[in-house]
Amino acid sequence: MREGVILRCVDCKNENYITKNDKRKEKIEVKKFCSKCNGHITHKQKK
Ligand SMILES: [Zn+2]
């Protein structure tokens, strides 16, 4: 079953994005724009 995963900003912990994780064993880590931090911050998959 494929579920959406939440990507959370490592700085402000805001949950900014929802994506899909095809490789379920690996945690997603991407640099994306955070409106709260006003810049590109690493977003990590929320467990
Ligand atoms: Zn942020």
Average pLDDT rounded to a whole number, residues 42-47: 92
Q: What is the pLDDT of residue 2?
A: 66
Q: What is the pLDDT of residue 16?
A: 97
Q: What is the pLDDT of residue 26?
A: 84
Average pLDDT rounded to a whole number, residues 3-26: 90
Domains of the chain in sequence order: 2-45 (2.20.28.120)
| Residue 7, both tokens | 């990507």
Whether the predicted pLDDT of 23 surpasses 60: yes
Q: Is the pTM higher than 0.85? A: no
From ligand 1's centre to the CA of 19, what distance in Å? 17
From ligand 1's centre to the CA of 24, what distance in Å? 24
| Residue 47, both tokens | 């467990």
Q: What is the pLDDT of residue 37?
A: 98
